[in-house]
Amino acid sequence: MTPIKSIAGSLNARLYDTAMDFKEREDFQRGFQIIENRAASLNRFLQAYRQLAQMPPPVFTECSIEELAKRASALENRVTVTVVPGPEVELEADPDQIEQMLINLLRNAAESVLESVPVKEEGSNGSSMTAAKSKVPIVLTWKISGQEMVLTIEDSGAGLMNPSNTFVPFYTTKPKGSGIGLILSRQICEAHGGSLELSNRQGQRGCIAKVILPLAATYDT
């Protein structure tokens, strides 16, 4: 798709050397812009599809869930993410995949929060700050239940508008979303013998993502 976008851009640039009236030039420019935008959209779709289809199997090793949670939360700087440490947990899992899953879920939670709060408000000292930063909109914690670890990410966003579409590939309500973040996260959980559930919080705004993973590695037979 990149060559198509490049050709459209080159033809658009050459319009300035072509004799035509203003209306014709405007129509051509609009057409080339549509081609460029569509090529970029198709390219994003193909990259997302490739990412879904080519996820490698997990490489199991012992890893600390607290370390992974803190690393993933540190990457989300648009909103406040509070990590409430649970018991010390050493998982047999693929640390790279688990960290990517946490990044995806935190990004999804942060975007939900940002869509539902005012952009700015006054701080106590009169300084301006984002409303998302002035509260504790996302909380990540975990516990042990039997032979499993249960990790939850709670946000204070608008919640799930259409729960039936939560895990539909390429479905997204975000203008620049790919619609694969939650799908990849669920694939990672299932590849580890676990599960991922999303539900609205009871009695208050927001959503809960619940990750359930076995403490010991689960291998496909």
Q: pLDDT tens-digit profile of 56-109? A: 888 999 999 999 999 999 999 889 999 999 999 999 999 999 998 999 999 989
pLDDT of residue 23 exceeding 70, the answer is yes
Looking only at the bridges linking them, the beta strands covering 138-145 and 81-84 are parallel
Domain ranges across the chain: 2-53, 61-214
pLDDT of residue 8 exceeding 60, the answer is no
Q: pLDDT tens-digit profile of 129-170? A: 444 454 568 999 999 999 999 999 999 887 776 655 555 554
Residue with tokens 């995806």: 104
SS (H, E, C) 195-220: EEEEEECCCCCCEEEEEEEECCCCCC
In the chain, count H helices and then E strands.
5, 9
122, 91 contact by CB (below 8 A) = no
At residue 106, the pLDDT reads 95
At residue 99, the pLDDT reads 92
CATH class (in words) of the domain with range 61-214: alpha beta
pLDDT of residue 127 exceeding 50, the answer is no
Which tokens sit at 163? 């729960």
User: pTM of the full predicted structure?
Assistant: 0.67
